[in-house]
Amino acid sequence: EAVFDPPAQTRRIAVANQKGGVGKTSTAVNVAAALALAGMRVLVVDMDPQGNASTALGAKHNSGDPSVYDVIEGRATIADVMQTCPEFETLQVVPASIDLSGADLELADMPDRNNLMRNALDAFLEQTSVHYDYVFVDCPPSLGLLVINAMCAVNEMLIPIQAEYYALEGLGQLINTIGLVQSNFNPELLVSTMLVTMFDRRTLLSREVYEEVKTHYPSIVLDTTIPRTVKISEAPSFGQSVISYDPRGKGAVSYREAAYELNSRSTVVLETLASRRNEN
Ligand code: ADP
Ligand code: MG
């Protein structure tokens, strides 16, 4: 097994793409699980009312259960609502339920509405006795206030790109939104990582998508790609990551490699963030 050196500081990463079904949740959950397996301390914040990351990590998230909704509306702290994932003691999840579905509208009238998640996360990380190596925020497929909150609460964006026709369509819009958040709220925010998902090495299309992303974003896209495999889609129905559900399968192997690659870039990413902080 590969040895993972923990990052010198907590890396906070939002997994976002306004397209649905591109592998955001699978990536957040499985990269988080792979890092936890490697001994990292990881927190996953589910910000999608669908609660798919909560399901996959085995967290209770029925309507009315304490969740991220209570956190962003200031009724609870992250410590109050987070659950330890049954798979790994070092992996915690802030669950989301369908209760969150009205939040985009409800937040619109709140003071400091863009920073609700950031404030909650800052407070939690300051108070907890545990040092977290990673925080992942799984975003809904939109560019609404919940996603803006996620972008304000992190330093890094991880954008999954599905190896499909029109893979890069809509990416400009996402990059524009990130630019708006950078200039208005969070100047540090860095698109640190892109990951090509549902890759099929037998098809020319998959290879073309990878090459296109690599051409446009050479230093950002991971060398590792995630293959299309049914085990990745089955795992959540067992309340598990693919890392535990099918540890030797190619889905688990590729997500562990992606996690290793992401982690191995920690020093470079943290230095880039530090130099941005000094510029601002
Ligand atoms: P998003 O969060 O962007 O909507 P998901 O991670 O939920 O995307 O993935 C969308 C669907 O595709 C889900 O049913 C998921 O299980 C499936 N899926 C994701 N990644 C893969 C993969 N590499 N191979 C096969 N199915 C996948
Ligand atoms: Mg999702």
In a domain? residue 6: no
154 lines ligand 1 (CB under 6 A): no
**Pocket flag, ligand 1, residue 186 (CB < 6 Å):** no
The answer to the question of residue 258 being in a domain is yes
Q: Is residue 5 part of a domain?
A: no
Q: Answer whether 18 contacts ligand 1 (Cβ < 6 A).
A: no
Vertex 7 angle, CA 194 and 137, to 5°: 50
What is the rounded average pLDDT for all residues in the chain?
Answer: 96
- The number of the ligand 1 atom at minimal distance from the alpha carbon of 17 is 3
* Residue 57 belongs to a domain: yes
Residue 180 lies in a domain: yes
Asked whether residue 3 is domain-assigned, the answer is no
Domain range for 97 is 11-279
Cα of 49 vs centre of ligand 2, distance in Å, is 9
CA 56, 59, 60, 65: dihedral to nearest 10 degrees? -120
Q: Taking 80 as the threshold, does the pLDDT of residue 1 lie above it?
A: no
Residue pair 134/40 in contact by the 8 Å Cβ criterion = yes
SS3 223: coil
Q: Is residue 2 part of a domain?
A: no
Q: What is the pLDDT of residues 48-105, one digit of tens each?
A: 999 999 999 999 999 999 999 999 999 999 999 999 999 999 999 999 999 999 998 9
Does this model's pTM top 0.95?
A: yes
229 in ligand 1 pocket by Cβ < 6 Å? yes
Whether 249 lines ligand 1, by a CB cut-off of 6 Å, is: no
Residue 25 Cα, ligand 2 centroid: separation in angstroms? 4
39-55 pLDDT per residue, tens = 999 999 999 999 999 99
CB 276 within 8 A of CB 188: yes
Q: What value of ipTM does the predicted structure carry?
A: 0.99
**Is position 59 within any domain?**
yes
State the total domains in the chain: 1
Q: Specify the CATH number for the domain of residue 192.
A: 3.40.50.300
